[in-house]
Amino acid sequence: MFAETELDLLQKIIQQGLLGALGETLLMTFVPTILAFVIGLPLGVLLVTGEEGGIHPLPRWVMTSLNFIINILRSVPFLILLIVVLPLSRILVGTTVGTKAILAPLVIAAFPFVARLVETSIREVDAGVVEAAQSMGASTLQIVCKVLIPEARPSLISNFMVALITIFGYGAMAGAVGGGGIGRIAVNYGYNRYKPLVMYFAVVLLIILVQLFQSIGNVLVKRSDRRIR
Amino acid sequence: MIEIKNLSKTFHTAGGDVEALKDIDLRIEDGDIFGIIGLSGAGKSTLVRCMNLLEVPSEGRVLVDGKELTALPPRELRKARQSISMIFQGFNLLMQRTALDNICFPLELAGVKKQEARNRAKELLELVELPDKADAYPVQLSGGQKQRVAIARALASNPRVLLCDEATSALDPKTTRAILELLRKLNRELGVTVVVITHEMRVVEQICNRVAILDGGQIRETGPVSQVFSNPRSEAGRRLVLPEGEKIHVLPENRLVRLVFDGAAAAEPIVARLASKEGILLNILSADTHSLAGKTYGSMVLGLPQDETDAARALLYLRDIPGVTAEEVTELVC
C-alpha cells in the first residue's frame, strides 16, 4: 500500500527523531500551560473578586479594561497571533524558529483563555462558604488562598487539562511555522513532502497523547474531589 | 451586648430602591438567647447580617460589647468579627476540608499554630458530640452533623456572640430539637449570647428568652417570649402567633374580652365560677392553649352579656384573677 521508501523514512524518523520530537512536544505543552496558569490564575480570580458586588470590588474601568484585553486576545486566531508575536520571541529567546521561539506566543495565546477557565471555576464556589469565611474575619487574600482556590480545586484541575490539551493542539499547529515537536514531523514530512504514512503516524501519536492527558486528568480530578463519597 | 441604634438598610436595585430595614432599635443583653422572628421577606437575614456588618447599614449604628462596628476600619472590623460567629441555614462548610480542618479554619485565619488548632478542634468536636467524625468530609455527614461541625467551627474563636441565621430550617423536627438543645447548652455553659433568626415559632418557644417580631423591615414588638407569644400586642405579632386567627366580625352589641392566662391560672374553671358565683353567663367564642418554654399558656375570647352592668361586673371579676390578663377586643382573634 505504501511505497517501500516511505516505510524506510518512517523507520528512520522513529529511530532518529521521534524521542526528541516527543520531548519537544511535551515541553511545548507543559511549559506554556504552566506559565499561562501563572498569569491566568490571578487574572481569573481577579475577574470574580474584583467585579461589582465581589469580595474586593475594583474600579469599574479596571474591570472593563481587563475584560476587553482578554476578549481581544481571545478573538485573534492563533496562527495570526503566532506570527505577530514572533518578533517578541526574537527579543526573549533570540530566535523565531524552533521550540523555544514558540513558547512566548503559546503563553500569550493561552493565558486569556486560562483566565476565563479559572473564572468559571472560581464562580462555582458556593457564595455561602465565602460569606462564612467573611463572617470569621477572613481577609480578601485569605479568602482567595484558603477558600476560593482550594474549594475550586477539582474544577481547576479539570480546566487545567482542558487548557493543556488546547495548548497541545496549538503546539502541533505551530509546526507549520517552524515550531518543533511531533507537529513538525506531521507537517514537514506528511504534509509538505506528501508522505501520508508519516502524517498518519504522527496524528495517531497526537491522539494517543491527548487520550493519555485526559485520562490522567480525570483520575486526578476524581482523587482530589472530596465531594465524591 | 449588642445594641442597634436607628438602623436602616436600603438596597438599590435595578427595579428601584428597596427598604429592607427601617429604624431598627434593638438591645440584646449578654447571655440572652434572643429570637428574631418574622415571615420571609421581613428583613431577618439582613438584620442579622448587619450585626457583623456582612451587610453595611445605610444608616444607624451597630455596637457589640460597646465597640461601634460601623465605625471600625476594615482590619479592626475583621478582628472584631472573630468574636461574633455565625452559623447558616446551608451550613456553609468547606467541602474540600475534613470536619476537623473546617473547625481549624477560623484558627488558621487568626494565625493559631497548627497543632494547637487541631487540639482545640478536637475538643470542640467533643463538645458538639461528634468526636468520631474528625476525618469525615462534609459530604459524608448528615444535615444535623454538618450543623454541629458548623457550630464547633463558629465556637473555635471563643466568640461572645453566636448569630444563627435560620440554622435549623433545613433540618427535620427531631434534629432541630437536638441542635436547639445544643445551642441552649452552649449558652448556659459558655455564656455565649445567641441570636436566633427564624420563621418558626417553635424554635423561639423552645430556646429563646426574649424575642423581637420583625415585619416589613420594622420591629413591631419585643419582649420576653412568654409575654409576646401569649399576648401579642402588635398586629404583626398576632398574625404570627395566632396564624389561624381569622377575623370574625361579631354583632356590634356583643362586647368581647380576650383572656390570656398562664400555667397556674389555666387550671381554674373561670367561666364556670363566673356562672355559679356571680350568676353571669359568658359565651365562649374561642379558646386555645400554647406551650411556651415548658409553661402552658391559654387564651380565650369571651362574649360579654348584653346587659351593661353584668358586662362591667364580669370584666371586673376577670381582671381580678391573678395570672390573668383581660382586655376588651373588637375582633375575634384567638
Is 70 exceeded by the pLDDT of residue B263?
no
In this predicted model, what pLDDT tens digit does every residue of B287-321 receive, in sequence order?
A: 777 666 556 777 788 888 888 888 888 888 888 88
CB contact under 8 A, A228 and B80: no
Q: What is the pLDDT of residue B14?
A: 87
Minimal C-alpha gap between B93 and chain A (Å): 6
- Residue A229 resides in a domain: no
CA–CA distances in Å: residue A202 to residues A98, A102, B269 = 18, 19, 98
Specify if A187 maps to a domain. Answer: yes
Residue of B nearest to A154 (CA): B96
Asked if A155 is an interface residue toward chain B (Cβ–Cβ < 8 A), one would say: no
Distance from CA of B78 to the nearest CA of A (A): 4
Sequence ranges of the domains in chain B: 2-230, 256-329
| Per-residue model confidence (pLDDT) at position A75 | 93
Other Cβ atoms within 10 Å of A146 Cβ, number: 18
Within 8 A of B80 by CB-CB distance, chain A residues are 137
Between positions 98 and 117 of B, the ones with CB within 8 A of A are 98, 105-106, 108-110
Q: Decide if B54 and A135 are in contact by the 8 Å CB cutoff.
A: yes
The three grid cell numbers given for residue A46, joined into one nine-digit string: 481577579
What is the mean pLDDT of the segment spanning A148-158? 97
Mean pLDDT is lowest, of B58-67, B91-100, B254-263, for B254-263
Of A128, A134, A138, the CB nearest to B90: A128
The reply to whether residue B96 touches residue A129, judged by beta carbons under 8 angstroms, is: no
pLDDT at A138: 96
Identify the CA nearest to A154 among candidates A50, A226, A90, A214: A226
Which CATH number goes with the domain that contains A68?
1.10.3720.10
How many helices (H) and strands (E) chain B has is answered by 12, 14
Query: Cβ contacts (< 8 Å) between B108 and chain A: which residues?
Result: 146
Name the pLDDT band for A179 (thresholds 50, 70, 90): confident
Mean pLDDT within A117-145: 97
How far A38 CA lies from chain B's nearest CA (Å)?
Answer: 23
pLDDT at B333 over 60: no
The beta-carbon neighbor of B157 closest among A132, A133, A136 is A136
Give which of B283, B329, B276, B333 is closest to B304, Cα–Cα.
B283
Q: Could you tell me which residue, B258 or A21, shows the higher pLDDT?
A: A21
% of chain B with per-residue pLDDT over 70: 91
Instruction: Look at residues B143, B134, B149, B142 and name the one whose alpha carbon lies nearest to residue B98.
Output: B134
pLDDT the model gives residue B264: 63
Q: What is the mean pLDDT of residues A216-228?
A: 92
Min Cα distance B151 → chain A (Å) is 12
Tell me whether A151 touches chain B (CB under 8 Å): yes
Query: Three-state secondary structure along A150-184?
Result: HHCHHHHHHHHHHHHHHHHHHHHHHHHHCCCCHHH
d(CA B95, CA B101): 10
Identify which of B314, B331, B247 has the alpha carbon closest to the alpha carbon of residue B279.
Answer: B314
The nearest CA of chain A is from the CA of B217 a distance in Å of: 22
Q: What percent of chain B has pLDDT over 90?
A: 63
Interface contact B198, partner A, CB < 8 A: no
Sign of CA pseudo-dihedral A90, A96, A98, A102: positive
pLDDT(B248) > 60: no
Counting Cα atoms < 13 Å in the Cβ hemisphere of A204 gives 6
A 10 A CB-CB count for A20 gives 12
Place of cell 467551627: B153
Mean pLDDT, range A192-211, rounded to an integer: 88
Q: Is A131 within 8 Å of B137 when comparing Cβ atoms?
A: no
Q: Give the integer Cα–Cα distance in Å for B259 and B284.
A: 11
Give pLDDT tens digits for A35-77: 999 999 999 999 999 999 899 999 999 999 999 999 999 999 9
Contacts of A165 (CB under 8 A, 6+ apart): A210, A213, A214
Average confidence (pLDDT) over A163-187: 85
Nearest CA in chain A to B79: A137
Domain that holds residue A116: 4-224
Distance between terminal CA atoms of chain B?
35
Distance from CA of A223 to the nearest CA of B (A): 11
Q: What is the pLDDT of residue B135?
A: 96
Spatial distance between the Cα atoms of B82 and B211, rounded to a whole number of angstroms: 25
CA distance B259 to B299: 5
The whole-number pLDDT of residue B334 equals 46
Beta bridge partners of B328: B257
Asked whether the predicted pLDDT for residue A144 surpasses 90, the reply is yes
pLDDT at B220 over 90: yes
Q: Cα–Cα distance between B227 and B292 in angstroms, integer?
A: 10
Do A136 and B94 count as a contact with CB atoms less than 8 A apart?
no
- Tell me whether A124 touches chain B (CB under 8 Å): no
- What proportions of chain A, in percent to the nearest 5, are helix, strand and coil? 80, 0, 20
- Taking only the tens place, the pLDDT of each residue in A71-86 is 999 999 988 888 888 8
R_g of chain B computed on alpha carbons: 24
Mean pLDDT, all residues of chain B: 88
**Smallest Cβ distance to A129: which of B78, B86, B92?**
B92
**B333: β partners:** none
The CATH superfamily of B256-329 is ACT domain (3.30.70.260)
For testing contact with chain A, the best of B64, B87, B95, B147 (most A CBs within 10 A): B95
User: A196 Cβ partners below 8 Å, 6+ apart?
Assistant: A2, A6, A190
Q: C-alpha grid cell for residue B110?
A: 487568626
Separation of alpha carbons B286 and B329, rounded Å: 13
Say yes or no for a CB contact (<8 Å) between A137 and B93.
no
Pick the CATH number of B2-230 from 3.30.70.100, 3.40.30.10, 3.40.50.140, 3.40.50.300: 3.40.50.300
User: Has residue A93 been placed in a domain?
Assistant: yes
Task: Report how far apart, in Å, the C-alpha atoms of B43 and of each of B3, B50, B111, B131, B207 are.
Answer: 17, 11, 35, 37, 21
- A198/B331: higher pLDDT: A198
Under 8 Å between Cβ of B2 and B86: no
What's the pTM value of the predicted model, to 2 decimals? 0.83
> What is the pLDDT, as a whole number, of residue B310?
85
What are the pLDDT digits (tens) for A11-35? 888 888 888 889 999 999 999 999 9
* Region of poorest pLDDT, from A58-67, A184-193, A209-218, B220-229: A184-193
Q: What is the pLDDT of residue B251?
A: 56
The number of domains in chain A is 1
Of A64, A15, A10, nearest to A198 by C-alpha is: A10
